[in-house]
Amino acid sequence: MREKTITLTNPKGIHARPSAMILKTAENYQSSIQLIKEGEVADAGDIMAILSLGAMHGDEITIRADGPDEDAAIEHLLEVFARRFDDD
């Protein structure tokens, strides 16, 4: 299992479009992927769970992946977050 904690820099937080981008990215991997905010865990393969985190600009998010391609999954999601979901 691998985890990486980041600070959400997307000005609008994780709304519907970023949630869909996270889901589509997660679907490319065999690993189980979760997002964690303040102890609340969301399956990255469930758009409603991602939205339910209510993640806003400045929140800390932990990306957790467990499986055969966990390193690649985390790195890809970090890129998506770093691009701020192309939401500028």
Is 57 designated active site?
no
Closest CA to 44 of 65, 58, 59: 65
**Active-site position among 2, 15, 76, 84:** 15
Closest CA to 83 of 22, 29, 41, 37: 22
Q: Is 5 helix (H, G, I), strand (E, B) or coil?
A: strand
Closest CA to 77 of 6, 16, 32, 25: 25
For the annotated catalytic residues, the residue numbers are: 15
